[in-house]
A and B are shown apart, each in its own frame.
Chain A
Amino acid sequence: MLIRIQGGRVVDPTDGRDAVGDVWIENGKIVAPSERTPDRTVDATGCVVMAGGVEVHSHIAGGNVVMSRLLLPDLYVSESAPNGHPFAHAGGSGSWVGANYAKMGYTTAVEPALPPSNALATHLELADIPLLDRGALAVLGNDDHLLQILRDGEGKNAVRDLVAHTLSHARGLGVKCINAGGASAFKDGVLKLSLDDEIPVYGLSTRKIMTALLDAVEEIGVPHPLHVHCNNLGLPGADDSFVSTLDAAEGRRIHFAHAQFYAYGAVDKENPLTGGFRSAAERITEAMEAHPNATFDVGQVVFGQTVTISLDVLRQFAGRKGANPKKWALSAGDAEGGGVVPFLYKPRGGVSSLQWAIGLELMLLSKDPERTILTTDHPNGGVFTEYPRIIHLLMSREEREKEIATLPAVVGERSSLPTIEREYTLSEIAQLTRSGPAKLLGLTDRGHLRVGAKADVAVYRDSPDRTAMFSRAKLVLKDGETIVEDGEITTWRFGRTLELDVEADAAIVKRSETYLQDRYGQGLDSFAVPDAAFSETENFEDVACRA
């Protein structure tokens, strides 16, 4: 079917487009303008046309996400779903996740924490997220097998082979390390860990583990750079961890998760944990400008109740004291485990307001929105459905001022947000939510509207009320098929889970089998993610490694 989206304001920063024009689609791809009469014409007059949104860091599947639902079953509200849309309105369910991303014009979402020890359940859950293409990042950095190899000084090839095999077997799209060594250290009694602190028993450090993984990711040719969750998340002085980790990358590609939670400068350097924090957004921005090898996603805070989910068990253990309501779940699992801690970002609370301001500041100070990805670290900073409101705040100084006027003075005293005049353009929003994340994930077939791209397209009614505009797309196409009209799901379909096409070395396969049998009494088969486990016949789609 030949489709013409006609007369909309087409915004594609990768092609320098920001003007009224047409977008042509055929067989699920963007095509060049055609002389033929289209089978379908979409009148996009008065609308903005963008590529489908791409999410790089949202906790939408996995054991800790499941635990969050059991711990806080009343976080989301369930409503009656329209016929034919099973569970779409079941608050917090996989279907609810898919439906709400799609309504906002998002067509791809990546779960950033795929524990190799629990890969099948995570993939089964991802597969039940409809409408979107999905992916997940395999987590490494605390597993005994990797730490043994590093401790024994086996060299880069051994690490590379283990990483490649783990990626392949867990069917990940990329690699993430979360407070590398932290979970292991926690089990051995450690409560705080910085980049060069020794990991008990192994004699390693976060720096050694992370740099080994950085090398392995480059050698394998993983398109997405190592996705790094640093030490000391959320603590005053965490900006030091961010900057020292950035330096430790020594020019290698690196992605920082939820940078907002690290942009906290200690007010009292002598007593960082008791003196409170101030914005370090300017420091982070300067560091990013000096390191073009790095990207970050923001982890914007949203006021209200949420639940924090992280495999950073060390951080979550410390965070238990701030649980609101006062309950929490923590697992000292195989490798990372994880922690689930409910949290209330108090509306107009001093700390919450400063966190809120810092996230916006990071985005507004950034000179390169394509390296600055919009996330709330869902649900850690807040629910992803708040993206339209955040976009509104980025695009309108007036809207920010109205919000700031309701907040405590600390926002002006400890951040520069009130003085920032910048207003994001639609092109910059597209960089923040489309081209930037797609490029970061190495997904060259999406995030833009150039010929050959997947026909993942979002059409929004242009409105100064950006919250309304981006909350309910007028039209969303996934692979050229209409999935949303006037903010409602029209077609219930399933996308694919994107996995990296990577081969494992036969020797490491044999070695892993031996290791796992010794440790678990079961081998690789018990960790497998076979196609046969999935109800949809074609669940996975390969993504090629870098040349």
Chain B
Amino acid sequence: MAAWVKGNAADTDAAVDAAATLLATARTPVFAGLSAELAAVRAAYRLADRIGASLDPAAGDSLYAELGSISASGALTTTAPEALGRADTVLVIGKRPWDGDLVAELAKTKPVRGRAAGADRSVLSLGGSANGSSRHVAYGVGNASLDVAIGHLRAFVRGNYAGEEAFGDLAKRLLAAKFGVVIYDAGEIGEAGTDMLLGLLKDLAETTRVFALPLADPFQGRAVTQLAAWTTGQAPRVGFGRHLPEHDPWRFDSARQVAAGEVDAALWLASLPSPRPDWLGSLPAIAIVGEGSADARPETAEIVITVGVPGSSAGGAVWNERRGVIGYVEATGKAVADTAASVIAGIAKKVEEKGASC
């Protein structure tokens, strides 16, 4: 496995030792990315607890658009397989859901389970793509933002507004659904939009069955959230500076922390693809990246360690987007010796030997 320390090739043991030295002397380290198999993320939370680091997943912003709404109001959701199996009405909000395959698959198929089985499926869109790639009925939002448009639609569903406007028609379609599904990306519609959408769904629940299907981020955010919750009792953005998990989405936003000069070392974990933070080169940092990835090069960070890629050169528990659960993927190619979990465990062991500053 390739590794570099300050631009020079090193063996993994030497890089792990250098990483431990950096973290053991750091006072306010940050672990970012967390786009990795769960065993590695688990090891990262344990190391963070040991040295008083804070953690922030790459998916932080979109995750917290959803998590903020959950902690304030709750959720009313279903899964992609249930949408495909049962939905007679699908509302697609925004543009991002059109990027994946799910909407097209829904547009091509009919429900096969439940009371809507065999019915035609209506695909509706709100403020979405007009590319005509899938058969759907489009509702524009004009100059309104998506959160405002959702609020407007909710007013029609509640009966606060009435009339023959397009949103009145959309409200009627949703109220007539036997099993409706609303697909959206929380990062696109924002926390206010997510919260308003939940209110809309709760209103619809008084009449029929309509559920949210928020799209998962592509950076393991959903899996990290689960592990963070059972490990710390909290959502992912926690800090251990005071030797207990303190959850604070604003305080432990890694980009904000770095911009404010609060961070003196970083560990970026990305055994799976993840956008490299633009601040990574601005401070002493360790990058644990997938072998063969674009970031597996000496310039990425002060210390770079390459590791097996889950589903390719390593096995691992990762987010299964299709099913909306954590699943295990085997290595499809030759498994490599160093995994992200074993590297972090190695760093933790060395930190223990050196004695961390926190």
- A→B interface (CB under 8 Å): 61, 63, 65-67, 69-73, 76, 78-81, 86-87, 89-96, 117-118, 120-121, 124-125, 128, 144, 184, 186-189, 200-201, 317, 327-334, 337, 340, 519-522, 525-530, 532-533, 535
Contact = CB atoms under 8 A, between A and B. Distances in A.
30 contacts: A61-B230, A72-B71, A73-B235, A86-B50, A87-B49, A89-B244, A90-B231, A91-B233, A93-B232, A94-B231, A118-B326, A120-B317, A120-B325, A124-B38, A125-B226, A186-B209, A200-B115, A201-B115, A327-B72, A331-B75, A332-B78, A334-B323, A519-B81, A520-B323, A525-B327, A525-B328, A526-B323, A530-B328, A532-B328, A533-B38
Contacts, number: 182
A535 B328 CA distance: 13
B33 interface: no
A520 B234 contact: no
Nearest to B43: A535
Interface of B: 38-39, 42-43, 46, 49-50, 67, 70-79, 81-82, 85-86, 113-115, 117, 178-179, 205, 208-209, 211, 225-227, 229-235, 242-247, 315-317, 320, 322-323, 325-328, 330, 341
Contact of B320 (A90, A144, A526, A533): A526
B341 A535 contact: yes
B230 A189 contact: no
B67 A70 contact: yes
A521 B178 CA distance: 24
B245 A532 contact: no
Contact of A121 (B46, B79, B113, B226): B226
Contacts of A144: 85, 113
Contact of A118 (B42, B178, B208, B325): B325
B75 A329 contact: yes
Contacts of A90: 231-234, 244-245
B322 A528 contact: no
Given A332-B78, A522-B323, A66 B328 contact: no
A497 to B, nearest CB: 14
A92 B325 contact: no
A115 B36 CA distance: 24
A526 B50 CA distance: 34
Contact of A96 (B70, B233, B323): B233
Given A66-B229, A73-B71, A332 B320 contact: no
Contacts of A334: 79, 81-82, 323
Contacts of B71: 70-73, 327
A533 B85 CA distance: 30
Nearest to A72: B71
Given A519-B81, A520-B81, A120 B328 contact: yes
Given A80-B243, A96-B233, 6 more contacts: A79-B244, A128-B42, A187-B86, A201-B115, A333-B78, A333-B82
A449 B107 CA distance: 63
B209 A187 contact: yes
Contacts of B230: 61, 65-66, 69, 93-94, 125, 128
9 nearest CB pairs, A to B = A92-B233, A121-B326, A329-B75, A327-B74, A329-B74, A93-B233, A80-B243, A125-B230, A69-B229
Nearest to A96: B233
Given A117-B323, A189-B208, A327-B74, A128 B231 contact: yes
Contact of A201 (B39, B114, B327): B114
Contacts of B85: 144, 519
A535 B115 contact: no
A71 B79 contact: no
Given A87-B232, A201-B115, A331 B77 contact: yes
